[in-house]
Structure 1
Amino acid sequence: MMKIDILSLFPEMFEGVLNTSILGKAAEKGAVSFKVTNFRDFTTNKHNKVDDYPFGGGAGMVLMPQPLFDAVDAVRKEENAKPRIILTSPQGKPFKQQDAEMLSKESSLIFICGHYEGFDERVPEHLVTDEYSIGDFVMTGGELAAMSMIDSIVRLLPGVLGNDTSAVTDSFSTGLLEHPHYTRPADFRGMKVPDILLSGNHEKIAEWRLRESLRRTYERRPDLLIDLELSEQEKKWLNQFECESEEKH
C-alpha cells in the first residue's frame, strides 16, 4: 500500500478531494492511505508563526524552515521509511505523466504545500527530493497543485482503475495525445460516429486510433513530437497532416 502524507497550513482543503471519486475508492480498496498534517502544529514559537520577513528586505513573508523540517522528521519517524519528499513550487520542473508513473512505484510520498512568498531556501536545498510545478502560473498556495499530482499518481496504482488498460492508453503515456472517443448513439443530431469504429475490424480500428492520436498531437501539441521516435507509417501520416494544413492556409 502506498502511504501519502501531506503537509499543509489548510488541511481542510483536502477533505472532499481525498474522500471522493477515484481517490476515495483507492483508499477504500487499501491501495493508498492519506494523512494530512498542519505543519503549524510543529512551530516552537509562542505565537505559532510559520513565516517571517525575508533577510535583506522585500515584499511578502517567507515560510521558516523549522516547522517543515520538524514535521517531515515526525512523519519519517512514524512511517519508519525514507519517502520521496515533494515540494509544490512554480520554480519546480514541469510535472509530466512520466513523473506520475515514476512516483506511482514508490511506497511513501510526502507533499509539502507552500503559501505566502515562498520557502526558506534551505527547505528545497536540503529537505526535499523533488520540486514540481504544474504550469507556468502562480497560485495562492500549493494545495491545488498537490491534489492534481496526487490524483495523477494514485490512478496508476494497480487495481485502482476499473480497467487497468485505461492508464496505459491515456494522453502522454504513449508520448501522444489520446485519440477521439465516441459512444451511443451512432448518429446524434446528424453528427455521426466514424464508420471505421462501427466496422468491427479491430486491426483497422487500432490503426485509425493511432493515426488520429498522431493527428491530434500534431494539431494541439506539436512540441511533443520533437523528440518522439516515429515509425515510417507515422512519418507518412505526419507529412499528410502537414500537407493538409498547408492547403487550408
Structure 2
Amino acid sequence: MSPPVVLTIAGTDSSGGAGIAADLATFAALGVHGACVVTAVTAQDTTGVRAIHPVPVAVVAAQLDAVLEDLAPVAVKTGMLATPEVVRLVAERCADRLLVVDPVIVATSGAVLAPAEVVAAYRDVLLPVATVATPNEEEFEALGRPGGRVLVTRGGDIATTNDHGTGCTHSAALAAHLAHGADLATAAARADAFVARQLQLSKDWTLGRGRGPVAHLHTPTEGEPR
C-alpha cells in the first residue's frame, strides 16, 4: 500500500537541523512520503542565521505545480516562506488540503526571519485558510495572538540546549499524523510525544558551538503508532 504524500514548502538549513532537512527526516520517520518546495536558501549553523536568499516566486510556483499535479499530497506543511508573494501563492494553491502552517517569523535564538509585510501576509491571507498553525510564543505575539486552530509550540519539557529545529520537527510530525488520518487532537498529542522523544535522544549531544539540533535519528519500535 502506498504511503500518503506530505509536502513541505520551506527553506533549507545548511546545518541540517531545521527547515526542509528536518521536515523530510520527520516525514520518513513517521511513514509518509515527503515532497519539497524550496522557498529560500539559508546559510545558518547552530549559532544563528548568516544569510537568507529567497527563491524567485516563479520558481517556487513551478516546484509547487510539479508536486501538486503529479503526487497529490494529502497534507501540506509550510516553514520559511520568505516573501509575501510566496505566502499568497501558498494560500491560493493549498487551501483545499490539510494545511499545517508553521509561521517562521522568529527563530528560537531570537533572530527575526521575516519582515513586517510577510507577517501581515501570514495573518491576513494564510492563517485564515490553514487547518492549524504552530507558532512559537514569539511568533504568536508577532501575529497579534490569533485565534482559531493555533497550537503554540514551546519546545517540550526536556532540559537541553539541543533544540534547533524543534518547531519544524513538531509541525512536520503534526502534518504526517494528519495525513495518516488522525484527528487534530490525536495528531497533536502524537507530534508532542515524537518531539519529546527526539529531544531526549539528543539532549546530551555536542554538535556545533550553539544550540544543537534536535535528533532526527529514529528507529520505530514494533507496534509503535505512526
Give TM-score scaled by structure 1 length: 0.34
Rg larger for = 1
Give TM-score scaled by structure 2 length: 0.36
